[in-house]
Each structure stands twice: as C-alpha cells, then as structure tokens.
Amino acid sequence: MTRLIDAESEVSDAVLTVIAHMPTTSLPVLMDAGFCRRLADADLMRIAVLLAQKSFDEGGCPIGAVIVDNASGWIVGKGHNTLVQENHPYNHGETAAIRDAGRIDFSRTTLYTSLSPCDVCATLLYMRGFERVVVGDVTNASGNESMLRAKGVQVDVLQDPCGIELYARYRK
C-alpha cells in the first residue's frame, strides 16, 4: 500500500500539521513506519505545540501532548486540552493523549507535552508508568519535573519557542 507520507517524505510544518490533526487510528494508513522513525524529539514536540494551538484556537488552554512507542517510533496517542471547551476539570492535554492511546503498556512510551505537567497530570504520568516525559515549556509553568525524576521517570526539557510564546499569549 502506498502511503501519503512515505519514508523519504520531508519533515515539514505542513506534514506535522496533518499528523497533528488526523485521528491517531488513521496514522498507520497515512504514513510509513520509516517516516515515524525519522521524527526527532523536536518534531514530536512541534506536533504537541500544534495540538496546543488547536486548543487555543477553540478558546481553550493551549496544551497539547503526543505519546510515542519507544521501540517503533509510532504515535500511539495524542490530544489537546479541552477543559474550557467541554467544561471538564480533567480534560488536560496529557489526559486526552492517554485516553486516545487506550489501554496500553505506557512503560515503553515517551510523552511529549507542550507545557510542564500540572500536579494531576504528573501523578498520572508516574502512575501509568511512562518511561520518559519531554516538556516543551518550563518558562510559563514548571515544578513537577523534579517529582517525576524522583519517581524514576526520565524527564527531558526541550524548550519550544512557539509553545512558550503561545502559552504567554494565553496568559495575557
């Protein structure tokens, strides 16, 4: 089967935007496994920020998250914050991505989040056993990275200028 995004496709904002907005279950039909393996941390964070932008455009809090299987590089879950849009206190970017991924073993995954996880999300990330969490913004909010590290979760900070600026605009 020929896929729209093959192993040699350029990693561009246009392609990452398509990936951000397509249902996760459609991604295996849309893109080749070789392309997924080529995505760097910065590319996956860009998808999380694009999801945060989606929330912002809907009038919500701009937080997006992407979950990747560490062995295959496949995106297994993604989501954006809909707390304001759906008037539900636990519809955070990270919780939406976890729901999207379903009942999987998270101990072999990495979660990319556009903003430092709140207390609820940090606790959930630890309890679900995530191997690694990559945080895109500790400028506008931070604090739970050390707690996650103390619980054995690898935490990397990959400051994303677009995500930082987006959340700063939201706070104004």
Catalytic residues: 94
First to last CA, the chain: 48
Both tokens assigned to 94: 């990270």
